[in-house]
Amino acid sequence: MITFKDLTNKITLALDEVSGALLGRYIQKARKQDSDKIAHGQELDSDPKIVALKAKRSELYSRKEYTRTGESKHRGAIDKTREKEKSLKQKKDPNYPESVTPKRYRGIERAVKKLQSGKLTDETFISFKEYITEEVEVSSDTYRFSNTKNPSGHGSWIFTRDGIQHSLDFSKHKKDEDWFEHRGTFGAAKTAAKKWARSKGHSYIHVAP
């Protein structure tokens, strides 16, 4: 009869093998998503108006005129070029700057290093495993763009499949097929929405404004 210690060792070994495979798959997916974001950012930067704003900002930076605190006298003009650049990019892409900010691979890389060095607690490790095995991503970009804040609190939360986040039409799109509603806290709604998305084969969903 197998001892309890041998059984736990066997289970631990099996989990290590499974988590290793999942990590590899997740990292590959995260790299691809980050690569796509970088390419999208380069596409936005290639716009002639953006190129001109960057050139103007560079020229302002090159003027070596400073206040007594060591700050450029052209700080206001420099900040205006940044604001204008952001405005132009958001007209093309309402999800900017989130849509061009690579972060998933860096985040997973940091977690893997902690995992390898044994710095993750058992509780954190379980959460981490649940995170990397979760195929559904929930984006709050559209909600933040419309409400200028992150989704939180209690209410009636609506989530949409990818592709209709900017054009949800209740008379056209079907409930529980194209969109999902849950009343309660945002955390509970998000969990329920992920379950719905998995059942429909959606890997990416959005919080509606």
Give the pLDDT of residue 23: 59
- The amino acid that residue 60 corresponds to is L
pLDDT in tens, 10-48: 555 555 555 555 556 666 666 777 788 888 888 999 999
> What is 87-114 written as a DSSP string?
HHHHHH-TTTTGGG---HHHHHHHHHHH
Residue segments in the chain with a per-residue pLDDT below the cut of 70: 1-30, 64, 66-72, 102-135
Check residue 206 and report its DSSP letter: E
Residue spans per domain, the chain: 135-209
Give the pLDDT of residue 76: 84
- Backbone torsions φ then ψ of 204, nearest 5 degrees: -145, 120
DSSP H stretches of helix in the chain: 4-45, 48-62, 75-92, 104-116, 122-133, 141-147, 186-200
